[in-house]
Amino acid sequence: MKTNYYAALFVIYCLSNTSILNAQHDNSRDAVRHIADGKLNQVEKTLAGKKPYGGEAEQAFVQMLALLKQDDVKAAFDKATEAVDLGLPFERLLVGPREELSKLHGLPRFQNWKKEHRPSKLIHGPMVGNVTGTSASFWVRTDGEVKVRLIVGGGTAIADEQTTRKTNDFTTVLRVDRLQPDTSYGYRLLIEGKSVAQGKFKTFAAIGQGSQFSVGFGGGAGYVVKWERMWDTVMKFQPNAFLMLGDNVYIDQPESQMTQKYCYYRRQSRPEWKRMVADTPIYSIWDDHDFGTNDCVPGPDIDKPAWKSEVWKTFKNNWVNPAYGGGSDQPGCWYDFHIGEVHFMMLDGRYYRDLKGGSMLGPVQKKWLLETLRKSEGTFKVIASPVPFTSGVKPGSRDPWDGFPKEREEVFSFIETEKIEGVFLIAADRHRTDLRITSRPNGYDLYELESSRLTNHHTHGVVKTEGMVWGYNKQCSFAFMKFDTQAKDPQVEFQCIDIDGTVQESSVLKRSELNFD
């Protein structure tokens, strides 16, 4: 009887706190979800709601999409001009969602307008990523299928050329190798012989080489126009890489390609985002809001629910990661990479999540993680999870690793049984930045740095768990790690930096604290 009573209370709680669960979402995104579902009568009411985080230009764009859905192309064109007048980048009318915008593109008025604007054929990117000591990759999206040429460096320049394809949402990835470790390079992109973009990046130190470098990370990047300046703040600190650890865009409608594309395109068209990703190597994994729905548990199967593989393909088309799980035979977003003596292991906490089976990772990914840990020679070994490992950070919830205590213990015990030194944890999900310690009776303390309020409006209170070092939630923030593996006792400094560039918290972790001696 008590079980039914508490279950009923839980249902009442969820229903009464729906606005809290969705507080980080904006009405423009929610209105697009209605358009995708054919609920056009709800669009205007939603746009008039209390969460106009996307701004007036974005609302006009969504109204245009609704008018196109109703075949009112003339009114849609007028709304498109209003959106551009309000500051919408013209490229948004080209990139899409293309299926919905095709009616607009067919208007002679639109084609004349496009000629007046003379937009670049490069719509999104370049985004640099998958950097090593000798190579780098560059992601782009174009207006139509075109050849894109990449030139890195001067003098004895290194180049690549690829064609964007409709089957990949008009994207491609260009790659160069034969670069020198720990070296800065400039690059250019050309389409039809014309320079369309340029940037700079720095290769990583060679694997196993001592170095000094920095890595930023975060999650919780809801679309809030006034806080898109976060990406410029990150750039000021010149991280050697930036990790997006989930809830990178808020979609929450895995069955709809329209909504997924809308959310990616909206962020990728922001000038602040473009500036950052052109010069800062980006690495990403997903969490519930950019994979499925809030706290989703999709189960252990590769192809069930059916939307899994399509969401995975969309994710691949919008990032520039070294790998995507086990590829088409074993989809996901896990992979690893190195910067000098530091080994990063990026986890997928959603695709194979199975509460009944007690696994967040699934057997294939778990085997990969344990073997990667066993073989790693990194001075520091960084395990990146979309949700926190630390107990009690989301009281009463099974969404973090608290929902998978046996698998968490299996990973932690493996580290101790195999005497794997130098491990610490990073995570996202909670809308704040925390540093916490999990004490282990048979091993060294496990430090976890968590950050997930890059641009979100919604904030989570700081939960004071045992082992909490500090927590910050007053403003949007990101986590920053400054590594020095050249020191006699290698170290990493953990920082919490707010959207204004102020270092709010700082702690140093020495490598000697992560030993079994």
Q: What percent of the chain is modeled with pLDDT above 90?
A: 93
- pLDDT tens digits along 58-98: 999 999 999 999 999 999 999 999 999 999 999 999 998 99
Could you give the residue range(s) of every CATH 2.60.40.380 domain in the chain?
Answer: 122-201
Cα Dmax for the chain: 78
For the chain, what's the residue count? 517
Burial of 194 (0-12, 13-18, 19+ CB in 10 A): exposed
Q: Say yes or no to pLDDT of 23 above 60.
A: no
The residue written with tokens 């629910």 in the block is: 305
Alpha carbon distance 389, 396 (integer Å):
14
Could you give the residue range(s) of every CATH 3.60.21.70 domain in the chain?
Answer: 206-514
Residue 256: partners with Cβ closer than 8 Å, 6 or more residues away:
33, 36, 37
Q: What is the pLDDT of residue 24?
A: 67
Task: Give me the sheet containing 184-191, strands edge to edge.
Answer: 158-163, 147-152, 184-191, 194-202
Q: What is the pLDDT of residue 50?
A: 85
Q: Say yes or no to pLDDT of 11 above 80.
A: no
Q: What is the pLDDT of residue 18?
A: 37
For 91-109, what is the mean pLDDT? 94
For residue 209, count other CB atoms closer than 10 A to its CB: 16
Q: Say yes or no to pLDDT of 219 above 50.
A: yes
Q: Say yes or no to pLDDT of 385 above 70.
A: yes
Alpha carbon distance 196, 130 (integer Å):
22
Alpha carbon distance 52, 137 (integer Å):
36
Q: What is the pLDDT of residue 287?
A: 98
Q: What is the pLDDT of residue 315?
A: 98
Task: Give me the sheet containing 503-510, strands edge to edge.
Answer: 282-284, 241-244, 212-218, 477-484, 491-498, 503-510
Residue 44: partners with Cβ closer than 8 Å, 6 or more residues away:
63, 66
Give the β-pairing of 282-284 and 335-339: unpaired
Instruction: Give the distance, in angstroms, between the CA of residue 230 and the centroid of all CA atoms in the same chain.
Output: 14
Q: Say yes or no to pLDDT of 20 above 60.
A: no
Task: Give me the sheet containing 423-427, strands edge to edge.
Answer: 335-339, 342-346, 380-385, 423-427, 446-451, 433-438, 468-472
Alpha carbon distance 392, 438 (integer Å):
11
Angle, helix 98-105 to helix 56-69, in steps of 10 degrees: 80
- pLDDT tens digits along 346-374: 999 999 999 999 999 999 999 999 999 99
Q: Say yes or no to pLDDT of 456 above 80.
A: yes
- 8-state DSSP, 359: B
- pLDDT tens digits along 305-335: 999 999 999 999 999 999 999 999 999 999 9
Partners of 479 in the β-ladder = 217, 496
List helix spans (H) across 17-146: 18-21, 27-37, 43-47, 56-69, 73-85, 92-95, 98-105, 108-117
Burial of 474 (0-12, 13-18, 19+ CB in 10 A): exposed
Alpha carbon distance 419, 255 (integer Å):
44
Q: What is the pLDDT of residue 230?
A: 98
Confidence of residue 196 (pLDDT cuts 50, 70, 90): very high
Q: What is the pLDDT of residue 345?
A: 99
Q: What is the pLDDT of residue 166?
A: 96
Task: Tell which CATH architecture fits domain 206-514.
Answer: 4-Layer Sandwich (3.60)
Whole-Å CA distances, 480 to 176, 179, 183, 243, 451: 28, 27, 22, 10, 10
Superfamily of domain 122-201: Purple acid phosphatase-like, N-terminal (2.60.40.380)
For 24-49, what is the mean pLDDT? 94
Q: What is the pLDDT of residue 222?
A: 95
Q: Report the SS3 class of residue 491.
A: strand
Q: What is the pLDDT of residue 154?
A: 78
- pLDDT tens digits along 221-278: 999 999 999 999 999 999 999 999 999 999 999 999 999 999 999 999 999 999 999 9
Q: What is the pLDDT of residue 21?
A: 44
List helix spans (H) across 418-495: none
